[in-house]
Amino acid sequence: MGASADNGLKIVVVGGFGVGKTTLVRSVSEIRPLNTEETMTQAGEAVDDISEVRGKTATTVAFDFGRITLDARNVLYLFGAPGQERFWFLWDRLFSGTLGAVVLVDTRRIDDSWYAIDRLEHHGTPFVVACNDFGGPAHSPGDVREALDLDPQVPLLTCDARSRESSKQVLVTLVRHVRDRYAGQAAPAALPRQEYV
């Protein structure tokens, strides 16, 4: 980060196990992302339900970290949270000082998203919901919104976490949502006025 950048804006990417949080952070970060992925072993099979994420060989055990420079004075820090229930105790710490969050959803396993949404609502953290495309059956936005019991104000979009452009659009939507939420109020951090990302 250059000496002139004085606003670090923190975004957290949360969601269930294997929904693509690490992939999203990797796809948009301008730096080589820090990740805490470890190889999954047979010992973890008794703890983590891997039946819906066949072929997954590594998992995040603390968090992922990436960075995007927005302009000369503003930098976006991305934190990808671990998805397994046994690591959820880390989430409250990750939410501290967060400007907003992305809830990444696999619509084949929509129930895995409820805890993330509940925690963000509990903290009063603005968020968007992004349905990561895993090639399963298509669901209408109305069906997804109803299944997640989303407030009508919460933006809902689809994405491909492997695509830089698609992931950037998710972050742009989040930053605009945060800006709109705090319009007319004292914002928690200075948001850049120009186009984001």
The proportion of the chain whose per-residue pLDDT surpasses 70, expressed as a percent, equals 69
Count Cβ atoms below 10 Å from residue 27 Cβ, excluding itself: 20
Asked if pLDDT for residue 84 goes beyond 90, the answer is: no
Between the ranges 31-35, 48-52, 55-59, 130-134, where is the mean pLDDT highest?
Answer: 130-134
Stronger pLDDT, 57 or 162, i.e. the higher one:
162
Q: Give the confidence band of 148 by pLDDT, cuts at 50, 70, 90.
A: very high
Tell me the CB-side half-sphere exposure of residue 162, using CA atoms within 13 A: 3
Q: What is the pLDDT of residue 1?
A: 41
Q: Give the confidence band of 75 by pLDDT, cuts at 50, 70, 90.
A: confident
Backbone phi, psi, residue 139, to 5°: -120, 145
Q: Give the confidence band of 133 by pLDDT, cuts at 50, 70, 90.
A: confident
Q: What is the pLDDT of residue 195?
A: 42
Q: What is the number of H-type helices and E-type strands within the chain?
A: 5, 8
Backbone phi, psi, residue 117, to 5°: -65, -40
Are residues 94 and 81 in contact, defined by beta-carbon separation less than 8 angstroms? Answer: yes
Q: What is the pLDDT of residue 159?
A: 95
Give CA–CA dist 28/24, Å, rounded. 7
Residue 81: partners with Cβ closer than 8 Å, 6 or more residues away: 12, 13, 14, 15, 21, 60, 63, 87, 90, 91, 94
Asked if pLDDT for residue 63 goes beyond 70, the answer is: no
| Mean pLDDT (the chain, rounded) | 78
Asked if pLDDT for residue 180 goes beyond 50, the answer is: yes
Stronger pLDDT, 121 or 88, i.e. the higher one:
121
Measure CA of the first residue to CA of the last residue in the chain; give whole Å.
15
The pTM (predicted TM-score) of the whole model is 0.75
Give CA–CA dist 104/170, Å, rounded. 10
Are residues 22 and 81 in contact, defined by beta-carbon separation less than 8 angstroms? Answer: no
